[in-house]
Amino acid sequence: MTAGAVLVTGAGSGIGLAIVQTLLAAGHPVWAGARKAAHLEHLQSLGALPLPLDVRDVQQVQQAADTVAASGRSLHAVVHNAGVGGIGLLPGWPDEDMQALFDTNVFGPHRLTRALLPLLLPSRGRVVCIGSQGGSITSPFMGPYTMSKHALEAYASCLRQELAPHGVAVSIVQPGAVATDIGDNGRAGNVARLQATQAPFDTASAAALAGLLNPTPPDPAQPESGSNRRHAPPSKVAAVVMQALFGPDPKLRHLVGTTWEGDRVVRELTQRLLEAVQSPSHGWDEATFLEHCRQAWRQRA
């Protein structure tokens, strides 16, 4: 057996391509999964092992696993990066659009991990999911996408618990806004959903469509906000993925983004925690809550 390789899905562009490039630069063998022939050719020219792979296709997933197994290389890890996005108010989302989104973002990682377990268990390898800060928060027009990332959070957390006794570590990386093609790739579907949204939701959808067709570029001179986002380069996410892949004690969650984005997530999680402990059936007072926080902080330290 030669050095353990890393399999990266959705490797043709954006975050996936940055992960492949970072791994190759560090000397790691890479299986690079992609759907488009042009992407596979480019990945091969970089030195990666190209792997035709659509995570929605059960047969192609198994063929990819068989190819890796037959190569003679051990498999150190899989990075589940393949993903799709989409915007639209929930009443405007057809069933088939939502099912397609979940098929890639949730069922894809599950079916590929299951196919690769015979390789990951002997190597005591790692599984890294590319989630989103949308796995912790949501907002209008982002419902189905954030639903899928919430589901991926639960998947990664449960998988980590189930595989830990067998020596396989699982992590989820949670990027904020990143400069990728995910918006352009889903543009046609977004436009169609927004245009087809029925009353009384059509007014809000029309305003969102106008913003989609005529976006306002971020103003670097102004503070970051929901309407003035900073987009991180994919390389920033790739650097955190490397920690999850090769760090001595990988965490379950790795938050990536600007301070504004991180603060937004922390505030939402804090509010959710307060709602839980202040519920009528629980009823913690402030002192009890703060003592719990202190104990948790000390344990993490």
2-51 pLDDT, tens digit per residue, is 468 999 999 999 999 999 999 999 999 999 999 999 999 999 999 999 99
Strand partners, 50: 32
pLDDT at 278: 92
Amino acid letter, residue 258:
T
Asked whether 130 and 33 are in contact (CB, 8 A), the reply is no
pLDDT at 172: 98
Among candidate residues 175, 254, 237, the one with its CA nearest the CA of residue 8: 237
Cα end-to-end distance, the chain, whole Å: 38
Instruction: Name the active-site residue from 31, 93, 141, 145.
Output: 145
Does residue 202 have a pLDDT over 80?
A: yes
In a 3-state reduction of DSSP, which class is residue 30? strand
Does residue 1 have a pLDDT over 50?
A: no
The secondary element (H helix, E strand) that includes residue 4 is: strand 2-8
The secondary element (H helix, E strand) that includes residue 62 is: helix 58-70
Amino acid letter, residue 179:
A
pTM for the structure as a whole: 0.93
Q: Is 155 a catalytic residue?
A: no
- Residue 75's Cα: distance from chain center in Å? 21
- At 296, list the tokens: 């948790």
Asked whether 116 and 75 are in contact (CB, 8 A), the reply is yes
Among candidate residues 139, 136, 175, 168, the one with its CA nearest the CA of residue 153: 136
262-287 pLDDT, tens digit per residue, is 999 999 999 999 999 999 988 899 99
176-197 pLDDT, tens digit per residue, is 999 877 667 788 899 999 999 9
Q: Left if phi > 0, otherwise alpha if psi is -120 to 50, otherwise beta: which for 174?
A: beta
Q: HSE-up of 173 (CA within 13 Å, CB side)?
A: 28
